Amino acid sequence: MTDVSFFYLFCILALILFALILLGSLALFLLITLIVCPRPIKIPIKGRHVFITGGSSGIGLALAHQAASEGARVSILARNPDKLEEARNSIRLSTGIDVAVFSADVREFEAVRRVIDEAGSIDILICNQGVFVPQELETQEIETVKFMIDINLMGTFHLIKAALPGMRKRKDCGPASIALMSSQAGQVGIYGYTAYSASKFGLRGLGEALQQEVIADNIHVSLIFPPDTETPGLLEENKKRPPLTSIIAGSSGAMKANEVAKKTLNGIKSGTFIVPCNFVGLLLSIATAGLSSQRSSLMAFVEVAAAGLLRIFALGNQSKWYKSIAKWHAKKEQ
Ligand SMILES: NC(=O)c1ccc[n+]([C@@H]2O[C@H](COP(=O)([O-])OP(=O)(O)OC[C@H]3O[C@@H](n4cnc5c(N)ncnc54)[C@H](OP(=O)(O)O)[C@@H]3O)[C@@H](O)[C@H]2O)c1
């Protein structure tokens, strides 16, 4: 065979291979489109009651600003009344809109129920309150572990239990949403975050099961997974981070609270179940898609196609983290 005919044969084989891959991908995409469930949905927020916990600071405050400027009726909840008043004034100053403020501790179910009864039926519930105290479990006080689980996880149960009856009877019958603020530490366990990760992983189980329980009421659950975000909470956390936590978690950089709020509201409005906030978050969401629901055929296709490759990436990442831990201990022993 001459060089020229060998070249033509190679081109024809490459074309056939390309056509087969294209047809296979198309067939896979069509199959995924047929089975993807629940179906895509739009959840309007204009003119609707958006109730945001932890709305006096950081991501919650940015969410309140954005929801108010998009024409929602906004209520915010937190413990400190002075910080709530400050938040109300800053939102009024920037949007000209008055938000309702409620002071309560999400750890107290009766207090949460009273506030939600007073606030009136909710269309979009954003459970954003959260505390994070990083420390190795061996040295962390059990009260601190309980503090995180109680506020981040049990507090969210309290909010949903209190809000759900009113949400089910909401007047406009339009699609409603329950959004849970998790964290990238709720997708992957990170050194120093045993209690925090447990509280945030817990939200995922809550969200997956809850979605099945409330879908018949046209209520849609979103789980938000932000990376480090510039907020007063992160500023405090940074002072206590064990050095190894910084080495491992510090690599992805911090987002602005406004950007995370924008991703959150967009995720809620499109009824997206898993809402990543940056590129690393997108990779994490694909890698941990598991049995979670997915409304977008395109994203489902990407999840299927990228699964194997991302597992290799995840293994490489774990190897890097364990090497950092070994190096750290070796240095300490010297
Ligand atoms: N910042 C980050 O890097 C980051 C990254 C991933 C995920 N997140 C998550 O995003 C959420 C917001 O974080 P952030 O950084 O914006 O926090 P932040 O600036 O510290 O604000 C926390 C908010 O939650 C409220 N809160 C705390 N404990 C409460 C309680 N027991 N009852 C009612 N409200 C309570 C606080 O108000 P009071 O203290 O007055 O009650 C405040 O309004 C949290 O769930 C956090 O886990 C944050």
State pLDDT tens for residues 182-217: 999 999 999 999 999 999 999 999 999 999 999 999
Indicate whether 93 pLDDT > 60.
yes
Q: Is the CB of 266 under 6 A from ligand 1?
A: no
Cα pseudo-dihedral 73, 78, 81, 82, rounded to 10? -90
* Catalytic residue check, 323: no
Give CA–CA dist 285/75, Å, rounded.
Answer: 30
Q: Which atom of ligand 1 is nearest to the CA of 59?
A: 16
Residue nearest to atom 7 of ligand 1 (CA): 183
Q: Which CATH number fits domain 49-324: 2.30.110.10, 2.60.120.10, 3.40.50.1820, 3.40.50.720?
A: 3.40.50.720
The per-residue pLDDT for 1 is: 62
- Taking CA 154 as the corner, what is the angle to CA 149 and CA 160, rounded to the nearest 5 degrees? 145
Band the pLDDT of 268: cuts 50, 70, 90: very high
Q: Is the CB of 234 under 6 A from ligand 1?
A: yes
Average pLDDT over residues 65-78: 98
Give CA–CA dist 308/27, Å, rounded.
Answer: 19
Query: What length does the chain have?
Result: 334
H/E stretch holding 180 reads strand 176-181
Say what the pTM is.
0.94
Read off the DSSP letter of residue 113: H
**Which sequence spans correspond to the domains of the chain?**
49-324
